[in-house]
Amino acid sequence: MLNNLQLNSEGKLKHFLSIEGLNKSLLTEILDIAESFVGIGDHQIKKVPLLRGKTIVNLFFENSTRTRTTFELAAKRLSADVLSISISTSSTSKGESLLDTIRNLEAMFVDMFVVRHAISGAAHFIAQQTAPHISVINAGDGQHAHPTQAMLDMFTIRQIKKDFSNLRVAIIGDILHSRVARSQIQALNILGAAEIRVIAPKTLLPAHVESLGVNVSHNLNAGLKDIDVVIMLRLQKERMSSALLPSESEYFKCFGLTEEKLKIAKPDAIVMHPGPINRGVEIHSKVADGPQSVILKQVSNGIAIRMAIMAMAMQKQGAM
Amino acid sequence: MLEINYLLSELETKLRLIIAERQLTNPLLIGIRTGGVWIAEQMHHRLNISEPLGLLDISFYRDDFSQIGVNPNVKPSQLPPYIEGRDIILIDDVFYTGRTIRAALNEIFDFGRPNQVVLAVLIERDGKQIPLCPDCAGVSIILDAGQRIKLTGPAPLAIHLQTMEDAA
């Protein structure tokens, strides 16, 4: 059901809601197409005419800077007309239901929704309800998925490490609440990474986390051994108040990435973070700004990957 | 008539003439992927040009995107960073409807504003749908209904005249 919703009758991308249910060749196709968009930022005219005349609406029911801006730039570089609506200024705050908002926007002849919502499954719901010619891209739903972030991370990893099959990847921090981690784990497994290791205190790991296809460590020093790619997750401050963690400084002592700890990983390991970073909480500034950090590269790559996904979802959709 | 070496020599001769006539002292050669690049490589060699060949992939500029979608084998175009004011020789294998050339020109102008663009093709065939035409061609031919030309390469380069039944 979930798979069918994302793909059309010819197996091409129609909506992009979650990594789950997509196969290796489709993920690779996304990465390949994104590759060809990378150079466009260097052109005198930073645009290609692929989505000229299409209207894309960014529907952000939750705050975001990086994701919303890169989606917006990606749409503009594809020559689409793009409109960003955030919840605080919209009529949902006046009591309009989500479905009514969608129906109203449909009546304005839009072609694509990019949706971020605090509730898991919101993008799926919209994809199910919306008119058949409209594509929906999930820009993060609750604790469920953030598939474009995962794809831009895969893209960044492939750019530097070339191949997934020998890679050991550590994902460190709040796995329990992280939609990014969930999507990354799925993508790394589909693309055939040698090992995915999650490193976190017990309170920040979901039950039966091993069933996602990962190894588990509760110790950062031990867990970083032989690692090629270090992915840090943001520690959401509200976790402290919910008593899952003693304090920020305590967390940093045990799970914060410092230059010393990074030395335990392979010497050519790269450090990634989906942002926004909390300096001194999950990552030391010297690491975040250091030579092994690819955090800003991730941001740039977000544009190319989102261009690829939007272009693919907007291509002709089989016989209706 | 469709012998590859003969056509390449014809094209070379005509290109030399245009280069002399228009006084193109430092032309930039650009080939359109895939077949056009093969022909451009030949001309690049024969005309003894030292500057690397520009490669153009027009996938993102095609007018049939909504019908056929993104080509997953699309590769980034490789043009020098400054084409502003340059004299460009744009090379393709077969000139047919003209749509490829329209897309290529649009892409080139997104890189900058060249001084002039010369269009050279190995074979010009009938069937154009856009008011564009090559400045020089190895040969101009009229095909029977259902016939089409296919180039294979890069080594060996060969021209095939197919009828629709062959292709099917």
pLDDT in tens, A224-236: 999 999 999 998 7
CA of A310: how far to CAs of A13, A17, A52, A111, A174, in Å? 9, 12, 12, 11, 29
Q: Does A53 touch chain B (CB under 8 A)?
A: no
Tens digits of per-residue pLDDT, A69-80? 999 999 999 999
Specify the DSSP element, H or E, that contains B110: helix B99-111
Q: How many CB atoms lie within 10 A of CB A296?
A: 11
Alpha-carbon gap: A118 to the closest alpha carbon of chain B (Å)? 32
Neighboring chain B residues of A316 at a CB cutoff of 8 Å: 66-69
Query: Tell me: the pLDDT tens digits for B32-42?
Result: 999 999 999 99
A234 pairs with which residues across the strands? none
pLDDT of B108 > 50? The answer is yes
C-beta separation of B76 from B57 below 8 A = yes
Contact (CB<8Å) A36/B76: yes
Confidence (pLDDT) at A39: 83
A48 in contact with chain B, both atoms CB, cutoff 8 A: yes
Q: Which domains are assigned to chain B? A: 4-167 (3.40.50.2020)
Find, in chain A, the residue whose alpha carbon is nearest to that of B61. Answer: A49
Distance CA A27, CA A31 (A): 6
Contacts of A146 (CB under 8 A, 6+ apart): A138, A139, A140, A179, A180, A182, A183, A274
Report whether pLDDT(A122) > 90: yes
**For residue A2, pLDDT beyond 50:** no
Identify the residue with better confidence: A238 or A75: A75
Global pTM exceeds 0.95: no
- A104 in B contact zone (CB under 8 Å): no
Residue A203 has pLDDT above 70, yes or no: yes
Would you state the pLDDT for residue A238? 67
pLDDT at B158 over 90: yes
**Highest mean pLDDT (candidates A128-132, B118-122, B152-156):** B118-122
- Residue A45 forms contact with B (CB below 8 Å): yes
Q: Is A65 a catalytic residue?
A: no
Residue B81 DSSP SS3: coil
pLDDT for A222 beyond 90: yes
Q: How far, in Å, are B14, B15, B44, B73 from residue B137 at the CA level?
A: 8, 9, 16, 28
Contact A141, A121 (CB under 8 A): yes
Q: What secondary structure letter does DSSP report for A271?
A: E
Closest residue on chain B to A25 (Cα): B72
> In this structure, how many other beta carbons lie within 10 angstroms of the beta carbon of residue A5?
15
CATH fold group of domain A147-299: Rossmann fold (3.40.50)
CB contact under 8 A, B106 and A35: no
Split at pLDDT 50, 70, 90, the class of A1 is very low
Helix or strand run (H / E) with residue B36? helix B35-46
Summarize pLDDT for A135-176 with one digit per residue, the tens.
999 999 999 999 999 999 999 999 999 999 999 999 999 999
Average pLDDT over chain A reads 91
* Cα→Cα distances A280→A248, A258, A289, Å: 9, 9, 12
Q: Is A66 a catalytic residue?
A: yes
From-to residues of CATH 3.40.50.1370 in chain A: 2-146+302-314, 147-299
Q: Looking at beta carbons, which residues of chain B come within 8 Å of A47?
A: 110
Question: Cβ contact (<8 Å) for B65 and A35?
Answer: no
In this structure, are residues A316 and A17 in contact, taking their beta carbons and an 8 Å threshold?
no
Q: What does pLDDT average to over chain B?
A: 92
Closest alpha carbon to B49 in B24, B85, B70: B24
Residue B168 has pLDDT above 60, yes or no: no
Alpha helices by DSSP H, listed for chain A, are: 2-6, 24-37, 66-77, 98-106, 122-129, 147-161, 179-191, 220-223, 238-241, 248-255, 259-262, 285-288, 295-314
* Residue in A116, A197, A261, A306 annotated catalytic: A116
pLDDT at residue A260 is higher than 70 = yes
Burial-class residue B66 by CB neighbours within 10 Å (0-12, 13-18, 19+). middle
Has residue B25 got a pLDDT over 50? yes
Specify the fold of A2-146+302-314.
Rossmann fold (3.40.50)
Could you tell me how far CA B4 lies from the centroid of its own chain? 15
Helix (H) or strand (E) holding B140: strand B136-141
pLDDT of residue B85: 95
Residue A11 has pLDDT above 60, yes or no: yes
Cis peptide before A276 (omega within 30 of 0): yes
Q: How many Å apart are CA A84 and CA A74, to the nearest integer? A: 13
